[in-house]
Amino acid sequence: MENNQNTQEFTESGTNIADVKRNNENSGLTYNEVKKVLAQKTGNPDAGSYSQTDIKNVQKNN
């Protein structure tokens, strides 16, 4: 039986899975990490909302 560690895995379309995983590891911040950084930079404790716009005030004025 062949050793699976020496064979590369490819998707049906020919994409090298190991290459994709390696590129993902080196791609930078994740979506959630970016949301957290934006929340911290704006002083907002809620990582899901990085805007400090008062929505009720905007709705009242429009």
The model's pLDDT over 16-50, given as tens digits with 9 standing for 90+, comes to 999 999 998 888 998 888 888 887 887 766 656 65
Which tokens go with 38? 């934006």
Q: What is the pLDDT of residue 3?
A: 46
- H-only helix segments in 1-62: 17-25, 31-42, 55-61
Beta bridge partners of 10: 16
Which tokens go with 36? 């957290």
